[in-house]
Structure 1
Amino acid sequence: MKEAYISDQSFDAINFGQSPLEKGEYENCIFSNCNFEYADLSEFRFTDCEFIGCNMSMAKLVSTAFRDVYFKDSKMFGLQFNDCNEFGLSFRFEGCSLNNSTFYKTSLKKTSFKNSKLIEVDFEACDLSNAFFMNCDLSGAIFENTNLEKVDFRSSFNYTINPESNRLKKAKFSLSEVHGLLYKLDIEIERNS
């Protein structure tokens, strides 16, 4: 059975949980306000696509290819990005909720996360070098054996990062959130009034 190749199309307010998206390759497509919750997107290929205001929570991503994909204002709970096809994997997130998602051992070099909730996201053993976290909530996010070289955390908050078990060379942090680096030392930091 030949897989579909769809390009330059817009999909608006479609519930792909009820009527599944045709398996294949999607290039330069826009998905607006679509529901992919629990959808099986295994082995789909998305190139230069945008997902705006979509619910992708718990979608299955085994060997899914995301190449230059933009996610905006989307609900993306519990996604296993570590199952994706690694070849050419690149995406950026703005205004998204990625709570409880996993990027374990994924290469996320230069990935941009803006105004997003990344609560309890697993970044263990990832390469996040040169990534950018702008105004992101990183409560409970896991950074362990993670390459965080040249990562910009200056406007993000609620992170806890152990400098002993992560690579932090030239990473950028704000003074107001420095306690997220020093928590392991069990010291008290007092703010001047």
Structure 2
Amino acid sequence: MVTRLLDEVGVAAYLTDQQLVGSMVAGEEVRGVEFDGCAFDGGVLAGALLLGCTFTECTFTGIDLARASVTDSTFRECRFVESRLMGVNFALAHAGAISSAFAFEHCRMDYASFHGLGLTSSSWHGCRLLDADFGECDLRRTDFAGSDLSGASFAGADLRDASLIGAVNYALDVRDVKVKGLRVEASGAGGLLSAFGIVVD
């Protein structure tokens, strides 16, 4: 069953197993709705206000969420595929409300912020994360395979047992990041030595 997003959220506080389509204009608000097992497909929610909502086992495919507000919202085991999340500040979500098993596949996430969040066992596969903020994050056992991390910040993050295999353009100051068990390729070693002024040719 396919339903239009705004038609449904205007009359319901709880939606389950719905395929939701449609767009919202910047500044348009959805507040306090619980989405369980819903699929958001191909809509434009750029600049939308998703306030105090709960998303459980939801999938977002081809969604434009650039600069959307997720203040006080909760995300549990959600998956984002080929979506735009540029400038989304997930750090404003409800405290502790970003669960592990967060999955992003081929998403564009420049300037996104996850600052201080617990993101263990999450994955970013083939994503563009230019200038993203992972400062103070718990990133144990996370996987950044195939992602571009140009300018991404990891200050104070915990990357123990994480994987940067296949990731490119990352730079970590290993004096300020927990890295025991972090997996990298030999070709990426320069990203761990740049903080010391060492250039690997």
TM bucket (normalised to shorter chain) is over 0.9
1:98 partnered with 2:126? no
Whole-angstrom distance in 1 between the partners of 2:197 and 2:123:
31
| Alignment match, 2:196 | 185
Match of residue 47 from structure 1: 56
Residue aligning to 2:146: 135
* Percent identical residues: 27
Helix, strand or coil at the partner of 1:133? coil
**Could you list the per-position Cα deviations for residues 54-103 of structure 1 after superposition, in whole angstroms to 9, with x for gaps in the alignment?**
00011111111111110000000101111112236242100101100111
- Distance of 1:71 and 1:137 partners within structure 2: 17
Q: 2:128, 2:139 → 1: CA distance?
A: 17
Unaligned residue ranges in structure 2 (runs of 5+): 1-10
C-alpha spacing 1:109/1:34, structure 2 compared with 1 (3 Å): same
Q: How far 1:135 sits from its partner (Å)?
A: 0.2
- In the TM superposition, residue 189 of structure 1 has moved relative to its aligned partner by 2.1
Per-residue deviation, residues 144-181 of structure 1 (Å, max 9, x unmatched): 01101011001101000011010000000011111000
**TM-score (norm: length of structure 1):** 0.92
Q: Measured at CA, do residues 22 and 167 of structure 1 come closer, stay the same or move farther in structure 2, by a change above 3 Å?
A: closer
Structure 1 contact 3–23 (Cα < 8 Å) conserved = no
Structure 2 distance, partners of 1:88, 1:102, is: 12
Where does structure 1 lack aligned partners over 5 or more consecutive residues? none
| Residues in 2 aligned to 1:169 and 1:176: alpha-carbon distance in whole angstroms | 19
Across the aligned residues of Structure 1 and Structure 2, the Cα RMSD in angstroms comes to 1.6
Aligned match of 1:89: 99
Q: Give the equivalent residue in structure 2 for 1:34.
A: 43
Moved over 6 A (4+): none
Give the counterpart letter for 1:15 in structure 2. S
Aligned-residue offset at 1:186: 1.6
2:16 & 2:55 partners in 1: Cα distance?
10
